[in-house]
Amino acid sequence: MKSIRLTLFLVLLSLCAAAFAQSSAQKSDAQTSDAQRSFDKMKTLAGSWEGPVTTVPQRADIEGKLAQVSLRVTSMGHTLIHEATSAGRPDDPVTMFVVDGDRLLLTHYCDADNRPRMAGRMSPDGKTVEFEFLDVTGNLQYGHMQHAVFTIIDANHHIEDWTYMEPGDKPVHAHFDLQRTK
68-99 pLDDT, tens digit per residue, is: 999 999 999 999 999 999 877 777 899 999 99
Which residue type occupies 30? A
* Cβ density class 64-101: b for 16+ within 10 Å, e for less: ebebbbbbebeeeeeebebebebeeeeebbebbbebee
pLDDT tens-place string over residues 98-117: 999 999 999 999 999 999 99
* Residue 77 φ/ψ, nearest 5 degrees: 90, 5
Write the pLDDT tens digit of every residue in 23-50. Answer: 444 444 556 899 999 999 999 999 999 9
pTM of the model: 0.82
- Read off the pLDDT of each residue in 43-70 and give the average, rounded to a whole number: 95
CB 48 within 8 A of CB 180: yes
